[in-house]
Structure 1
Amino acid sequence: MSNDTVGCQPEQQNISLTIFLCLVYMVGLLLNGFSLWVFIFRMSKWNAGTVLQFNLAISDALASPATPLIAAYFINGNNWTFGPFLCQMKIALLSAHFYGSILFLTLISIHRYVVVVHFKRSSAIKRKAFVKKLCYVVWCFLMVGAVVYAYVLGVTDEDGHTQCLSIHQSKLVKMYFVINFVLFVAGFLLPFTVTVVCYACLARSVTQISDKSMQGHLIKMKSLRMIGLCLVIFAICFFPMNVTRTVAVILKKFYPTECALLLLVEKVYYSSYVLAGINCCLDPLIYFFGSHGFNKAFRNSVKRARGQQERDNRTESDTTSCSVNRNAVYTIS
C-alpha cells in the first residue's frame, strides 16, 4: 500500500480555513458556555426536555479543547507535533462531540414528537428520571466509542510527516474504512432517518392545529421552528462531513494512486468540518425556541444585567454629582 501511495503527500490548508475554524468554535464556546450557565444557575425547574438540551450543550462544548490543536495542525502543514496522547485526546473529544450532538438532537426530536403528537398518552421519555438514565447510557456509549477510536487510530509517520486523524495514514486504511461505515450508518444515517420521520409526523400533526387560540398558535410556531432548525443542522452541519469522509476513505482504499482527487476531497472534507462546527452556534437556538423555561431564564438574565448596568451608571452619576457639588462648596467657602 505504501508503494502505491508515494506522492500522495498532505498539503497545507489555506489559512482562511484555520481562521474560520477558530472563529466558529470560539463563538460556539461562548454561546454554549452561556447556555450551560443559564441551565445550571438560572433554571430551577427542569423537565425531560431540559435534561436533553443540557446534555446537548455539554456535547457541543467538548470540541473547544481540541480546536487549538487542530488549528496548529493545519498551520504546521498537516504535521502533528503534539505527541500521541494529545492526538488520542483530540480523537476522543471530536468523536464524543459530533456523535453526541447527533444522538441528543435525535432524542430531542423523539421527545418533541411524543410531547406534541401524543400529549395525552403516558410515555417514559416524558419522565425526567427516565431521560436522565437514558442520557447516562448515551454518554457511556459515546465514551466507549471515543476510547476505542482513540486507541486504534493514533499517530503514524508517513514519509516524513507525523499524521493524526488524517486520510493520509496509509497504515490505518482498513481501520478507517471500517470505523467510517460504522459511524456513517449507526452514528449518522440511522439517527438522521429517525429524526426525519419524527419531524415529518410532527409537521403533519401541527399543521392541523388551529391558529385561532393563542396556545395553539404558540405550539404550532414552536414546533415548526424546531423542525426547520434541526433539519437545517443535519443538512448543513452533519450531512456534508459524513458524506465527504466516506468518499475519502473509499478513494484511499480502492483508488490510492488518485492523489489529485484525494487531495481535492480532503479540502472539501475540512471545509465541511468547519460547517459541522456551526452546529455549536445553532444548537443554542433550539434551547431558546424549544424551551419556555430556558427562554424565560434567558430574558430574566438579560433584564438583570441591564438593571445592574443602569444601577452602576446611576451610582457613578450620583458619585460624580456629589463630587462636583462638594468641589463647588469648597470653592465658595
Structure 2
Amino acid sequence: MYEGRILEFGNSSQLIVPVRFLCPLHENYKHILLPITYSVVFILGLLSNGTVLWLSCCQTRTWSCSTIYLTNLAVADLLYVLSLPLLIVNYIWKDKWSFGDILCKQVRFCFYANLYGSIMFLTCTSIHRYVGVCFPMKSLRWRTRKLAIMGSIAAWFIVIMEALPTCIYAHAEALHNKTVCFDLTSPENFFSYLPYGVMLTVTGFLIPFTIITLCYCSILKTLATPGDNPLVRKPRRTKSICTILVVCALLVICFVPFHVTRLLYLFIRAYMVQNCGTLQSVSVLYKICRALLSFNSCINPILYFLSGRKSCSWLLRKNKVAPAFIRSQCPAWGNAAPGCPLASNRIPG
C-alpha cells in the first residue's frame, strides 16, 4: 500500500502529492499475523466475555458497583469481538474490502469504542477501588449502584463522542484496483485527521492512564501500611495486588505500546513520509502492537473473576461512631444499601 500526504502553501492553496510517488509499504506480514491473532481473540473473547455477561445477568442477584463497571467493560469487548470476522476475511483477502462503506465505518468505530471504552471503565473501576480502600468510611454514602449506573452512562457518552469522528474519517474507497477499508483515513484527509488522532491519544489514553496510575499507587501505599486494617491482611491484600497486576499487564502489554507506536506513526506519516525506511519500520511496529492490543478483550474478563465485593463488618468492629448508619449500609445487618452488597470478608469491590 502506498502513502500520500497533503502539502500546504500559503493560506488557501494545497498540493496533493500523488500516492504513486511516495513510499510503498510492504505489509504482506499482516495478512498472516492479523488473521491468526484476530481468530484467537475472537474465540477467546467470545467465550470469556460471554461467560461474564451470563454470570452477571443470570447468576448474580445483587450487582455491586464493580459488577456494573466490569459488565459494561465486557459489553465493550463483545462489540469489538463480534466485528473481528469481517477483519479476518479482509486480511485473508489481502486488504480487499467487500462489505461496503457502512460496515467499514462500523468496524473501525467498534475498534475505537472498545479501546477507549475499556480504558474508561478500567478508570472507573480504579477510582472506585481507590475510594473504597483509601477512604472506606467517607465513601460509604456515595459508592452506590445508582452513581455507578450514572457513571457508566457518562462513560459511554464520552466514549461515543471520542470515537464518533471515526465514522467520518474511516471509509471504503477504491485504491490500486481494489476497494480498501482505511484504518485511519484516506491519504488526502490525513492532515485533518492528525489533530483528531493526537486528541484521542491525550483524552482517551494519557489522562485515564495517569488517573489509573495515581489510584493504584495510592492503593498500594495503603495496603503496604502496617496496622489493623483488614484490607492489608491476606488473602484480601493478595487479591487486591493480583487485580493491580492484571491492570498493569493490560497497560504495559496492550495499551502503552499501541499508543506510543500509533503516535510515532502519525507524526512520521505526516512529517517524514518520504523517509521510507523509518516509515516501514514504524508501520510494522504499529501493526504488531495493534495485534497485541486486541488481546485486551481476552484479559479484561479476568478482572471480573478477581473483583470482590466490599466488606462492612470490619468497619463495625473498628468504628463505634454512628453505628446505626453503618448498620443501614451493611447487608449483614439485614438492610442492604445499593452500594454495599453481600460480602463478609472481601476487599471493597
Report the TM range for the smaller structure's normalisation: 0.7 to 0.9
Is residue 2:155 matched to residue 1:138? yes
Is residue 2:304 matched to residue 1:270? no
In percent, how many aligned pairs have the same letter? 27
Q: Quick one: which amino acid aligns to residue 104 of structure 1? A: F
Greater Cα offset, 211-220 or 234-243 = 211-220
The residue aligned with 1:316 is none
Measured in 1, the distance between the counterparts of 2:185 and 2:157 equals 30
Corresponding residue SS for 1:162: strand
The residue aligned with 2:180 is 163
Pick the aligned partner of 1:179 from 196, 210, 214.
196
The residue aligned with 2:21 is 6
CA contact (8 A) 1:87 1:155 kept: yes
- 1:96-135 paired onto structure 2 within 5 Å: 96-122=113-139, 126-135=143-152
CA contact (8 A) 1:125 1:131 kept: no
Measured in 2, the distance between the counterparts of 1:16 and 1:149 equals 24
The residue aligned with 1:311 is none
Superposed displacement of residue 219, structure 1: 2.4
Measured in 1, the distance between the counterparts of 2:274 and 2:128 equals 47
Corresponding residue SS for 1:126: coil
The residue aligned with 2:102 is 85
Measured in 2, the distance between the counterparts of 1:124 and 1:6 equals 64
Q: Quick one: which amino acid aligns to residue 3 of structure 1? A: P
CA contact (8 A) 2:253 2:292 kept: yes
CA contact (8 A) 1:103 1:191 kept: yes
Superposed displacement of residue 126, structure 1: 0.9
The residue aligned with 1:63 is 80
Superposed displacement of residue 4, structure 1: 6.4
Query: What RMSD in Å do the two structures reach over aligned CA positions?
Result: 2.4
Q: Quick one: which amino acid aligns to residue 60 of structure 2? A: M
Is residue 2:260 matched to residue 1:247? no
Per residue, is there more helix in 1 or in 2? 1
How big is each residue's C-alpha offset from its partner over 1:104-152, in whole Å with a ceiling of 9 and x where there is no partner? 0011011011111100113665111011011111112222333322123
How big is each residue's C-alpha offset from its partner over 1:248-270, in whole Å with a ceiling of 9 and x where there is no partner? 11111111112333233222212
The residue aligned with 1:237 is 254
Structure 2, unpaired ranges of 5+: 6-16, 311-349
CA gap 1:215/1:188 in 2 versus in 1, 3 angstroms: closer
Measured in 1, the distance between the counterparts of 2:226 and 2:275 equals 55
CA contact (8 A) 2:169 2:193 kept: no
How high is the TM-score relative to the length of structure 1?
Answer: 0.81
CA contact (8 A) 2:172 2:181 kept: yes
CA contact (8 A) 1:9 1:168 kept: no
CA gap 1:73/1:260 in 2 versus in 1, 3 angstroms: farther
The residue aligned with 2:313 is none
The residue aligned with 2:275 is 258
CA gap 1:80/1:124 in 2 versus in 1, 3 angstroms: farther
How big is each residue's C-alpha offset from its partner over 1:17-65, in whole Å with a ceiling of 9 and x where there is no partner? 3112211232011101011100000000112111111111111111112
Q: Quick one: which amino acid aligns to residue 169 of structure 1? A: S
The residue aligned with 1:24 is 41
CA contact (8 A) 2:169 2:185 kept: no
How high is the TM-score relative to the length of structure 2?
Answer: 0.78
Pick the aligned partner of 2:208 from 158, 180, 191.
191
Is residue 2:58 matched to residue 1:41? yes
Corresponding residue SS for 1:156: strand
CA gap 1:57/1:209 in 2 versus in 1, 3 angstroms: farther
Structure 1, unpaired ranges of 5+: 294-333
Q: Quick one: which amino acid aligns to residue 78 of structure 2? A: A
CA contact (8 A) 2:130 2:216 kept: yes
Aligned residues, how many?
294
